[in-house]
Amino acid sequence: MTATIASEMGEVSGGSPHYHVLFFIGIVLFLITLGVNVMASRIAFRQRKRSERVLS
């Protein structure tokens, strides 16, 4: 997906459907990393809360 954006962005005209699709790919990539990160931080946060409970 990253390579698609990189290789095709130079060849599309601004404003065409192809151009918008490339931006859409960017959004999808962003959402994937966002999802993974939110999940990871949620796990870490829950773990910390539990350890605080155990310690206190």
Partner 1 sequence: MKSDKLITPRSSAYLVERIGFSTLAILSFLLAVPIIGVILYIIIHGAPAISWEFLSRMPSDGMKAGGILPAIVGTFYLTLGTAIFSVPLGIAAAIYLSEYAPENRLTRIIRIAIINLAGIPSIVYGLFGLGLFVIFLKLGTSILAASLTLSIMTLPVIITTTEESLRAVPYAFRVVSTSLGTSRWQTIRRVVLPQAVPGILTGVILGLERAAGETAPILFTGATFFLPHLPNSPLDATMALPYHLFVISTQVPGMPIQIQYGTVLVLLVFVLGMNIVATVIRSRARARRQW
Q: Which residues of the shown chain bind partner 1 in the complex (CB under 8 A)?
A: 2, 5-6, 9-10, 14, 22-23, 26, 29-30, 33-34, 36-38, 40-41, 45
CB of 52 to partner 1, least distance (A): 12
Closer residue to partner 1, CB minimum distance, 11 or 54: 11
Q: How far is the CB of 54 from partner 1 (least distance, A)?
A: 19
Written as one string, the DSSP assignment of 12-54 is SPTTSHHHHHHHHHHHHHHHHHHHHHHHHHHHHHHHHHHHHHH
